[in-house]
Structure 1
Amino acid sequence: MFEDSTFTLPRTMLWSFWLAISLNFLGGTVGQLHPREPAQYRTLPSLREQALILDRWRDERVARIPELLKKYNVDAWLVILSLPISQREYAEDTIWWSIKDATEFASHRRTVLLFHTNSSSLAGSPNPLRWVDNTGQVWPELRSTLRAYNPERIAINVDRNIAFGGGLHVGEWDVLHEQLGDSWMEKIVNQPMIGIEYVANRVPGQLQYYKMLQETTWAMIEEAFSEQVIQPGVTTTEDVEWWYREKMRFLNVSTWNHPRVSVITPESFPGWAGTKDTIREGDLLHVDFGITAMGMNTDTQHMAYVLRASEGETDAPVGLKEGLRKANRMQDIALEKMQAGKTGNEVLKECLTQMDSEGITGQIYSHPIGDWGHAAGAVMGELRILPNTYYSIELYAYHFVPERNETLRFRIEEDAYWVSDKQGWQFVRGRQERFHLVNWASNLNVQALQIQ
Structure 2
Amino acid sequence: MDLHIIRFWVLCAVLCASVATPAVWGQAEQGVIVQPAAHAVIDSRARIEPENRLLSDRLENLLPELMAEADLDMWLVLNREYAEDPVYFTLVPQPSFAARRTTMLVFHRQEDGGVDRLTVNRYPLGEPYEEAWSGGSLDAQWAALGELIGERDPARIGINVSATWPEADGLTHGLHQKLVAALPEGFEDRLVPAEDLVIRWLETRSEQELAVYPHVVSIARGVIAEGFSSRAITPGVTTTDDVAWFLRQRFEALGLPIWFMPYVNLQRPGVECDEDTPFCGISGVIQPGDVLHTDVGICYFKLCTDTQEMAYVLKPGEADVPQGLKDALAQGNRWQDLLTEQFVSGRTGNEILARAQQRMDDEPWSFNIYTHPIGYFGHGPGPTIGMWDLPAEVPGTGDWPLYANTAYAIEGSIKTEVPEWDGQLVNIKLEQTAVFDGEKVIYLAGRQTRWHRVR
1:191 equivalenced with 2:194 (yes/no) = yes
1:396 equivalenced with 2:413 (yes/no) = yes
What residue number does 1:321 align with? 326
Q: Number of aligned residue pairs: give it.
A: 396
Q: What do residues 113-160 of structure 1 show as CA deviations (whole Å, max 9, x unaligned)?
A: 11111239xx98842344346522122212212222222211111102
- Secondary structure of the 2:138 match is coil
Q: Distance in 1 between matches of 2:185 and 2:338?
A: 51
Alpha-carbon distance change, 37 to 359 in structure 1, aligned in 2, over 3 angstroms: closer
What residue number does 1:438 align with? 454
What residue number does 1:231 align with? 234
Residue 375 of structure 1 deviates from its aligned partner by 1.5
Structure 2: runs of 5 or more not aligned: 1-26, 123-134, 386-397
What residue number does 2:30 align with? 34
1:287 equivalenced with 2:294 (yes/no) = yes
Q: Distance in 2 between matches of 1:207 and 1:414?
A: 15
Alpha-carbon distance change, 125 to 371 in structure 1, aligned in 2, over 3 angstroms: closer
- Secondary structure of the 1:386 match is coil
Structure 1 length as normaliser, TM-score? 0.82
Q: What do residues 294-335 of structure 1 show as CA deviations (whole Å, max 9, x unaligned)?
A: 1111111001111111xx112222221222111111111121
Residue 368 of structure 2: which of 358, 363, 387 is its match? 363
Could you tell me whether the CA contact under 8 Å between 2:372 and 2:379 is conserved in 1? yes
Structure 2 length as normaliser, TM-score? 0.81
What residue number does 2:434 align with? 416
Residue 379 of structure 1 deviates from its aligned partner by 4.2
Residue 181 of structure 1 deviates from its aligned partner by 6.6
Q: What do residues 58-98 of structure 1 show as CA deviations (whole Å, max 9, x unaligned)?
A: 11212222322221222111xxxxxx111111210000011
- Tell me whether 197-206 or 357-366 shows the greater mean CA deviation: 357-366
Aligned ranges for residues 43-82 of structure 1 at < 5 Å? Answer: 43-63=40-60, 64-77=62-75
What residue number does 1:221 align with? 224
Could you tell me whether the CA contact under 8 Å between 1:266 and 1:409 is conserved in 2? no
Give the structure, 1 or 2, with the largest relative contact order (CA under 8 Å, sep 6 or more). Answer: 1
Alpha-carbon distance change, 128 to 335 in structure 1, aligned in 2, over 3 angstroms: farther
Residue 179 of structure 2: which of 176, 182, 194 is its match? 176
Could you tell me whether the CA contact under 8 Å between 1:266 and 1:408 is conserved in 2? no
1:373 equivalenced with 2:378 (yes/no) = yes
Could you tell me whether the CA contact under 8 Å between 1:367 and 1:391 is conserved in 2? yes
1:260 equivalenced with 2:263 (yes/no) = yes
Alpha-carbon distance change, 33 to 182 in structure 1, aligned in 2, over 3 angstroms: farther
Alpha-carbon distance change, 326 to 68 in structure 1, aligned in 2, over 3 angstroms: same
Taking only aligned residues, the RMSD between alpha carbons, in angstroms, comes to 2.4
Residue 275 of structure 1 deviates from its aligned partner by 4.3
Could you tell me whether the CA contact under 8 Å between 1:260 and 1:274 is conserved in 2? no
Could you tell me whether the CA contact under 8 Å between 2:107 and 2:115 is conserved in 1? no
- Tell me whether 214-223 or 328-337 shows the greater mean CA deviation: 214-223
Could you tell me whether the CA contact under 8 Å between 1:284 and 1:306 is conserved in 2? yes
Structure 1: runs of 5 or more not aligned: 1-30, 78-83, 440-452
What residue number does 1:201 align with? 204
Alpha-carbon distance change, 74 to 124 in structure 1, aligned in 2, over 3 angstroms: closer
Residue 190 of structure 1 deviates from its aligned partner by 1.3
Could you tell me whether the CA contact under 8 Å between 1:67 and 1:117 is conserved in 2? no
Residue 332 of structure 1: which of 330, 334, 337 is its match? 337
Q: Distance in 1 between matches of 2:114 and 2:312?
A: 61
Residue 145 of structure 2: which of 142, 145, 167 is its match? 142
Q: Distance in 2 between matches of 1:32 and 1:57?
A: 27
- Tell me whether 372-381 or 183-192 shows the greater mean CA deviation: 372-381
1:131 equivalenced with 2:121 (yes/no) = yes
Q: Distance in 2 between matches of 1:286 and 1:220?
A: 14
- Secondary structure of the 1:127 match is strand
Residue 48 of structure 1 deviates from its aligned partner by 3.3
The sequence identity of aligned pairs, in percent, is 32
Q: Distance in 2 between matches of 1:418 and 1:378?
A: 12
What residue number does 2:425 align with? 407
